[in-house]
A and B are shown apart, each in its own frame.
Chain A
Amino acid sequence: MSGPLADLCVVELCSERGAWAGKLLADMRADVVKVEPPGGDITRTYPPFLDDEPGPERSLYFWHYNTSKRGVTLDLESDAGRDAFRRLAARADILLEDRDPGVMAALGLDFPDLQPSNERLIYVSITPFGRNAPRANEPANDLTILAGGGPGWNNGYDDHSLPPVRGGGNQGYHTGCHFAVMSALVALLHRDNGGRGQHVDVNMHAAANVTTEAGTYNWLVARETVQRQTGRHAAENPTMPSQVRSADGRYVNTGVAPRRPHDFKLIHQWLEELDLLEHFHPAALLLLGAECERIDLSKLAFDEDWRAIYGAGREAMASIASHLTAYDFFTGAQKRGFQVGIIYSPEEAMADPHFVARGFPVEVEHREHGRSFTYPGAPYKFEKSPWSVHRAPLLGEHNDEWLPK
């Protein structure tokens, strides 16, 4: 079996901003050749390190973002290095680069420089504000992309003396890279259909800007400004909390509160099974909910009885959540048809039996270290052309193969 992209050659000149885009293509078996300066890409100096010892082959950050790629080193400051880069680009289907605007042109390696010798080249530029934009040359990183682009205003706490929260894990970079990959694939399908290559200009700040759901469209449509709230959607007017601390100190998201008569019946039974019924004062309201028609949220504000029943349902969920471990609440509620979630840390998520059963954690062999390590697996399961992964390239590992003298 071969990957859906097995026929593709991708040249990647990316560091922290764009490496995720290259990984998404490489793990689907495109031949991604990562070009690094002779001393290695700067992300090789990023922690965490294997056993906390720094070293160009020990950065787990580099490992994660560069799986399944090949690695070559080129000094683009030299004529020979630039020539070799041109030769690579001449046979590439896709070139991914995340240099500041103007850098590639100064090197003579911009799209207009490379296109004449490769009409089929799809040249993807990933920059913080897009090329040729008024703010193109402003410094930016993941924090400022998310804080300036919209997500920041949405994330945080009910207590507005606490700052807005970025959200962890380089999601500003990831979002830009998702658009880079989607757009490169659109350009590829155009080429499959007889079209030629083209330039794709990805604007990371704009990517964050159109990835904030109601934060954006409530303003576009109704000129409403959402306000951040703890653990739930920012909203123009405050909504009820949905995050509860469980008996084991973890948190859960109690999700969508019961609305159907059947839901009220189930939750009443669950309280009874847990021996919590006699301590739960609004229990009678749950029984009433089991007799009523489905609660229409849009009419909640006008119907006092519904409001009381709905409130009792929420309270019952919260009460059960606080009496159980987070896991027992999560699985117990889901088995009863309630959309709730356990708030896992990343490592807890990967150890969960569901993801293990689906083969999500994968072992990646690092022969140099005589060991294999557990990595996150496939974001999607392709039946005919599965995702696969091998370890990131060592520095200059494929120079001989890819850079014939």
Chain B
Amino acid sequence: MTRRPGAAAGGALSHFRICDFTGQLAGAGATRFLAAFGAQVIRIEDPVPEGRWDILRGNPPYVDERRGIELGGAFNNHNVEKLGITLNLRTERARELLRQLIGVSDVVSENFSAGVLDRWGFDYEALKAIRPDIIYVSNCGFGHSGPYRDYKTWGPIVQAVSGLTFGSALPDEPPAGWGYSYMDHTGGYFMAIAILMALHHRNVTGEGQWVDLACTEAACTLNGPALLDATVNGRPLRREGMPHANRSQFPPMAPHNIYAARGEDNWIAVACRSDEEWRALRELVGERWTQDPRWDGLSGRLEFEDELDRNMELWTRGHERFELAARIRDAGLPATAVQRPEERIDKDRNTEGWGLWPSVKHTVIGDARVDGLPVHLSETDWRLERGAPCLGEHNDYVYGEVLGLAPAEMASLREEGVI
């Protein structure tokens, strides 16, 4: 279906306008969520480098053999349902247009390094002068104060410094880390939470405010129990034999691991949460080793966990992982094949009925599948139909209808390279 670019989806957030400088994933992921619920997100891009301050623009993956600034698959994924305008902030005329846009926006969002917006003359004081109740949410690696305020990050650096990389490891091995930017996703979630909370605060009090989100700090909050074990009990996570991310310390349980299954690079995850579940598993395995009384209670299973895991893996190795996981689940224990992308996306019956991979229409790319949302709201659900904006795709709408510029004026702005 087609709908006017500015006509919001009639969603829960359709009465909000976001003046959006975010990019990559850590920022773009936040405003993506808001756009899915109808917020009018106006993404501002620099026409001079063709919007490449977002490194995902024009970069792989691609749907077909075509290449170019409009064809980046990741960019499309992270910017669905947003409007896109171009604005060359090196010019005074552009800065004047930005002031006008901020004047009619509820939120200014950005995930530049600290200081970028200040240098253009748009620090929080300036934003407030334009619109006193503006909400400004900045998301950068180390925040806007402190000794590292000028340090630069991307997801893996945030994960490294916060302890998340360290905690993703097997004993006697270097950190495995996260094989993707977990904290770009999650930084975006925290940023969306911050924007939404600030909007509610404004609804109640009439006040806007600045939220300084330091992605590394948000990440540090995600290590809770291990952190308190260190600060309260003096037991650091950096110690002999730790971490072992595939086992469970809090709460302790065993078996609890990822085991090899039949075939090449095939794995199965199994968690046994109680003695009762162990008895069910023992019956299912049905091998002699399981009768050893050492395994009857949790303390024995933990004390001899290496041996227990070796035995478990000898058993799992002989089985097809999906079939075995289903049998273990039937016995009442959490179990799953470690799913490859094609398996969890195209072959998991749970995701299809959920509508987890909607197809959006991008002006140049055409139809493309993107991440959906893992939630459904009974009254005001999300909707993802329109692909990411092309460079300046909504200039006419935003400059013309939102800011009220005449066509001749827009033509001269184009000519002068302002938009």
* B158 partner residues in chain A, CB cutoff 8 A: 341
- In chain B, positions 241-276 with a C-beta closer than 8 Å to chain A are 243, 245-246, 248-252, 256-260, 265, 267, 269, 271, 273
B61–A341 CB distance below 8 A:
no
Contacts A183-B377, A226-B341 given; does A189 touch B200 at CB 8 Å: yes
Contact B157 A340 (CB under 8 A): yes
- Decide if B290 is an interface residue (CB 8 Å cutoff): no
Q: Is A202 an interface residue (CB 8 A)?
A: yes
Residues on A with C-beta less than 8 A from B217 are: 355, 358, 360, 377-380
Q: Are B230 and A183 in contact (CB under 8 A)?
A: no
Q: Are B179 and A226 in contact (CB under 8 A)?
A: yes
Q: Which interface residue of A4, A138, A340 has the most chain B CB atoms within 10 A?
A: A4
Q: Is the CB of A346 within 8 A of B230?
A: yes
A251 to B212, CA, bound (A): 29
* Chain A residues, Cβ within 8 Å of B249: 47
Inter-chain contact A4/B157, CB cutoff 8 Å: no
Q: Are A334 and B148 in contact (CB under 8 A)?
A: yes
Shortest distance between the CB of A249 and any CB in chain B (Å): 10
In the bound complex, residues from chain B placing their C-beta under 8 Å from that of A251 are 174-175
* A347 adjacent to B160 (CB under 8 Å): no
Q: Is B79 an interface residue (CB 8 A)?
A: no
Q: In the complex, which residue of chain B has the Cβ closest to the Cβ of A204?
A: B374
Which DSSP category, helix, strand, loop or mixed, fits chain A's interface? mixed
Contact-residue bracket for chain A: 35 or more
A322-360 at interface with B (beta carbon < 8 Å): 330, 334, 337, 339-350, 352-355, 357-358, 360
Contact call B203/A217, Cβ cutoff below 8 A: no
Contact call A357/B220, Cβ cutoff below 8 A: no
Distance in Å: Cβ of B359 to nearest Cβ of chain A: 9
Give A162 to B152 CA distance when docked, in angstroms: 32
Instruction: Establish whether residues A154 and B166, one from each chain, have CB atoms under 8 Å apart when the complex forms.
Output: no
Complex CA gap A201/B380 in Å reads 12
Distance (whole angstroms) from the CB of A334 to the closest CB of chain B:
4
Known: A144-B269, A183-B375, A192-B203. A64 touches B224 (CB 8 A): yes
* B411 interface hit (Cβ, 8 Å): no
CA distance A141 to B217 in the complex (A): 26
0/1 interface trace, chain A 151-188, chain B, CB 8 Å (1 if under): 11111110010111111110100111011111101111
Q: Across the two chains, which residue of chain B brings its CB closest to A188?
A: B200
Q: Which residues of A contact B159 (CB under 8 A)?
A: 341
A133 CB–B CB distance under 8 Å: yes
Q: Which residues of A contact B350 (CB under 8 A)?
A: 129-130, 133-135, 203, 205-206
Does A393 sit at the interface, judged by CB under 8 A? Answer: no
**Residues B179 and A155 in contact, CB atoms below 8 Å apart:** yes
Please provide the 8 A-B residue pairs with the shortest distance between their CB atoms, ordered closest to farther.
Answer: A168-B167, A341-B160, A206-B374, A154-B179, A346-B163, A148-B336, A4-B201, A221-B73
- Could you name 13 residue pairs across A and B whose Cβ atoms are closer than 8 Å? A48-B235, A50-B232, A133-B350, A143-B248, A153-B341, A154-B180, A221-B77, A233-B156, A256-B154, A330-B161, A339-B151, A340-B157, A341-B153
